[in-house]
Structure 1
């Protein structure tokens, strides 16, 4: 062992420690003399890692055996992580736990495994015990913000844990970029665009980076910005920005692949689905070492299925979606599975809409009665055909089946905020406000007992619905809901306002000055409201209220002079004079017009008989005592054959 170490030291004596290629050559020279030289094996492994030859490093570890793995387990775990074997890297790291370096590696490997909760815990441990390493705090803040953004994508961040955008997030371009990714995941696209622009400005302002390094850092930011512009519907800006991105200079294969996908989506010229499908399949996929996250892969799979539907490949889409759905349990709130259910229904209906689509899709309910995507598709088709009652009955029957289940997962689906909101909205549209309120209250009660941090939007909606009730028990429940919201997030304006309103109605004794003073002043809330303009514009009357008395109607249109409607030339008579006022009674028969005056004796007598209060024609009484009207008397025969009638 000493001889081999001295031999290796002699080989390395004439090379620089920074020249990793020379170190690799020296280690290979030592291994040619002795294949089991553990020191030379270790030097070769480090040199391969320094040269970014990670696949060769993993192969070297496997050939060298367990002795090298036990001696250099950190290097082995790092090589596994960089080649895409994150799960195996985590196993090695957990088996040899200890040290900040291994904890950093564990956090990164868990991040690539998409086990973001464990990754966040590892970074939390590192942050609690900061070392004296240069820039470690800076790196921890950047990596932690990246984990938070990924948790937002998967819906793992509840409102109590989610960190709001702060000044520290916009101090460096990496955290600004991660803040933009989190905003995109939450649907805050306008805020995401602001963060991306800020990230570009901060990167360009750095003096320690060269122009080439700045350009390399800005490329993924621009790719993300194109996505945001597409989602905002600003396709012209997205296409213009995409033309400025040099695809060949993007180093990360996954980023380059996403950039090419966004380029195809942003170009309005690619409206031909067959051409788009060909371009989609011609793009090289990223390797295992730089694979896409599951959120990206799910979107790409949906894009491919949509393109196939546009190319009329209905049978193929039906088979692939059925295969995917059958591998996952139902019911579920998984977005990819439910999206596959929607596309499965679209394939069976062959892109039909309305009643034709319902006729094709309804038989699927017999085989997939718990497919959430299918149920929502049918409900949406019912709504589009104005059949709200059928949509409501469909969801009610689905909820009833889930309530009879003993599986906790099924109950979570039953009280999923999105499904509950759909049913509550249907109740509201039909004027069944009591049902809507009861549904929201029931769901809020379930999640309060189920989770320490229930969905914020659901709790706020349930509390607001209960506040409209006159029942003291409902008002008390609203106070409890808003109290829990306020306790978890004292900066939430909706929770604070709801709590004050609930206490003011149900229990004013609980109101204190701190709660009332925390509310924003009324003057600030109405500072940008022009009361005079609102009054002049009139009061909007919802159509659901029906027609109100004319004395209560106010409209801004009545204050404006109405322009006379034009008459088409083909409807005008030949002798039409536009300067002459038309008769308003021209649509009535002549005898019903107010200015009609009959001519002649017969006409005057007829008019007298038709006039209210005029003389009544006497009736002649027949011999048998029955009255016979004059009009029924036998007329005299005229001259000629057969007489005249």
Structure 2
């Protein structure tokens, strides 16, 4: 007698008409009661849990199912990890899966862990491939726009897909919002404001969303618009917009906190730092699934420390910032640790300034000599006291320490473009052009060896500095730099001009005639310049070439009369009979008898004054006749004998 085989869960579900995910979950649970090791039932159960957005229960089901379930349902496992706030683990699970769904999960998880370059690359691959699902093209455009915005915020805008807003970005409120974020991150505030308003209008025009759903979508747009208005200096409009924002209705706690902070910054009423401190910390902490991105958390941390310092919490800021800095690698140029180091220095200085602050911060720098943020803070304090030599020496010694390190990360910090720019600026203040040129050349050489995509601004600055040299080797190096820049971007006119300037003297045969002809002619560059009027106006000299004191009184054409600076006189130096506005005696510091208007009184005083007059008659003095001294006789005994002294026992 043969037994009838039990139908599988998938066969049962295929014969039913279950559309409720809860019903599917109940069917899967009933099947698992009969056989706990049924992989198919376990798979159906985790899919139902995902559709019900019960991500913690989904992960619990995967843990109970074991490695076999994780391998058979790898896509679902990765998605559950991602939605549960564990994107790093999701990346490890799905990074080797080449299926289309897995690539979507990998892109989203990479976006969440701020690997925006990989997310952008995956979305480009998916957009170029066939076989996409219905409406997938729109989702790819939305997600790709969000990645481009994050690339701009993180300083990687050169690899962003969209350089400008396209017409299709204005067709949906999501794409319009992402395009607005891209514009805002580039500093194009007017364009960003326009696109945000466009996004709000498109969202309000949707018919398939309820009023509550529209409001939930528009609130984050309004929060972003407050930021744009503040950046544009429209504080009144920003404050009015903040006053109408229902903060409690913003679903994402991370966005709610940003809205609260921006409302404090835009408000004119929150002048009390203690009240502002309380409001800033009134919003709940966001969950792991809704964390701020690094560039956001860095700014929010700065706001928190600034509010703590305004509230007088110097010891608290010093302790908390020191703990944070001790957990970070050193040296580093990451914005987070660098900015925290500045607040750490401010906390140790207790709101002191300039020389007094230097005295308090220098001991901290001795304990943390590799702290870039602290180093730049002390450098700035030296500049505020006009001690350029000390600032330069401090940075030079830091560079020498990093050069002796064998760690590649330390050398990256040594030749970081921002630090190089700081050093070059210090050299420029002191007129040390050769040092500036050498520093830029070394940095350019390092990054050309180190990276396939060296920083363009640094290379352009180094090439320009080398063009000022008459050394053939320097000009050759400048030519190589501009050649690489021109090869990377044929439309870069500055690179083309630098290439021609470098090779025009030492190697004109290397220049392409088409490149030379593409440069604007000199006549066009000087068009509209009136040389005669410029000559009549005079030539302004830099401070290092200012006229000498002997020529300071000569007025050149075009110079404006400069009023002499009125010196303030201390109160303790003012005479008792001082009257405001009355011209003071210029000879008041001279003795009375030496002043030009002194007129002595009485017969004795007039006689004394006549004797002191320069060029006056001098009374002849009587000179008594003295006995002539004669030379003695020959030999040494020619001296006269002294008379014997009076009294008994007189001695010679």
TM range (shorter): 0.7 to 0.9
Residue 527 of structure 1 and its aligned partner are, at CA, apart by: 8.4
Aligned runs of 1:373-452 on 2, under 5 Å? 373-452=373-452
What TM-score do you get using the length of structure 1 for normalisation? 0.79
Equivalences for residues 263-302 of structure 1 within 5 A: 263-302=263-302
Distance (whole Å) between structure 2 residues aligned to residue 400 and residue 312 of structure 1? 38
Compare 522-531 and 262-271 and name the one that shifted more.
522-531
The C-alpha deviation readout for 1:555-611, integer Å capped at 9, x for no partner, is 3646x999xxxxxx96567xx9xxxxxxxxxxx99x999xxxxxxxx99xx9xx979
Which residue number corresponds to residue 476 of structure 2? 476
Q: Residue 425 of structure 1: CA displacement?
A: 0.7
How far did residue 427 of structure 1 move?
Answer: 0.9
Contact 1:467 / 1:475 at 8 angstroms: preserved in 2? yes
Deviation at 1:439, TM superposition (A): 1.2
Inter-partner Cα distance in structure 2 for 1:3 and 1:484: 65
Structure 2 residue 197 is the aligned partner of structure 1 residue 200 = yes
Contact persistence 2:152–2:160 (CA under 8 A):
no
2:327 and 2:438 map into 1 onto residues whose CA distance is 35
CA distance in 2, matches of 1:85, 1:332: 27
Equivalence for 2:336: 336
- 2:245 is the counterpart of 1:240: no
Alpha-carbon distance, 1:245 to partner: 3.4
How far did 1:357 drift?
0.8
Q: Write the distance in 1 (CA, Å) between the matches of 2:198 and 2:532.
A: 43
In the TM superposition, what is the alpha-carbon distance from 1:377 to its structure 2 partner?
1.0
**Structure 2 residue aligned with 1:345:** 345
Shift of 1:448: 1.4
2:7 match: 2
Q: How many corresponding residue pairs?
A: 593
Tell me the residue number matched to 1:585: none
- d(CA) in 2 for partners of 1:174, 1:46: 28
**Partner residue in 2 for 1:46:** 47
Match of 2:638 in 1: none
Name the SS of the counterpart of 2:479 in structure 1: helix
Aligned equivalents of 1:244, 1:514: Cα separation in 2: 60
Secondary structure, aligned partner of 1:452: coil
Report the 3-state secondary structure (helix = DSSP H, G, I; strand = E; otherwise coil) of the residue aligned with 1:2: coil
Deviation at 1:423, TM superposition (A): 1.1
Post-superposition CA distance 1:237-264 (Å, at most 9, x none): 3222323433344333322232222222
> 1:170–1:198: 8 Å Cα contact kept in structure 2?
no
Decide whether the 8 Å contact of 1:41 with 1:68 is kept in 2.
yes
Where do residues 9-408 of structure 1 align in structure 2 (5 Å cutoff)?
Answer: 12-13=16-17, 15=18, 17=19, 19-28=20-29, 39-66=40-67, 68-94=69-95, 97-156=97-156, 159=158, 164-165=163-164, 167=166, 170-172=169-171, 173-185=173-185, 188-189=186-187, 191-201=188-198, 204-205=201-202, 210=209, 212=211, 215-408=215-408
8 Å CA contact 2:183, 2:191 repeated in 1 = no
Q: 1:217 to 1:389 in 2, by over 3 A?
A: same
CA contact (8 A) 2:193 2:228 kept: no
Q: Structure 2 vs 1, CA of residues 238 and 36 (structure 1 numbering), >3 Å: closer, same or farther?
A: same
Structure 1 residues 518-597: aligned runs within 5 Å: 518-519=518-519, 540-547=540-547, 549=551, 553-555=556-558, 557=560, 571=580
Looking at structure 2, the residues matched to 60 and 282 of structure 1 have their Cα atoms a distance apart, in angstroms, of 36
CA contact (8 A) 1:4 1:37 kept: no
Bigger drift between 476-485 and 379-388 goes to 476-485
Shift, 1:376, TM fit: 0.9
Closer/same/farther in 2, CA of residues 5 and 418 from structure 1, 3 Å limit: closer
Change (3 A) 1:216 1:538: farther
Q: Which runs of 5+ in 2 are unaligned?
A: 1-5, 565-577, 584-589, 597-605, 627-652
> Quick check: 2:536–2:557 contact (8 Å CA) kept in 1?
no
CA contact (8 A) 1:402 1:410 kept: yes
Deviations 1:52-75 (A, max 9, x none): 333333334334555544443322
1:463-484 deviation per Cα after TM superposition (whole angstroms, max 9, x unaligned): 2212222323222222222121
Q: Which one is further off, 514-523 or 254-263?
A: 514-523
In structure 1, C-alpha distance between the alignment counterparts of 2:276 and 2:285, rounded to whole Å = 16
Tell me what 1:636 maps to.
none
Query: Take 2:512 and 2:522, find their aligned partners in 1: how far apart are those partners?
Result: 18
The TM-score normalised by the length of structure 2 is: 0.78
Q: Is the 8 A contact 1:427 1:433 kept in 2?
A: yes
Q: Which has the higher contact order (CA 8 A, sep 6+)?
A: 1
In structure 2, C-alpha distance between the alignment counterparts of 1:305 and 1:202, rounded to whole Å: 34
Q: CA RMSD in A?
A: 4.2
CA distance in 2, matches of 1:326, 1:160: 33
CA deviation after TM superposition for structure 1 residue 520, in Å = 5.3
SS of the residue 1:374 aligns to: helix
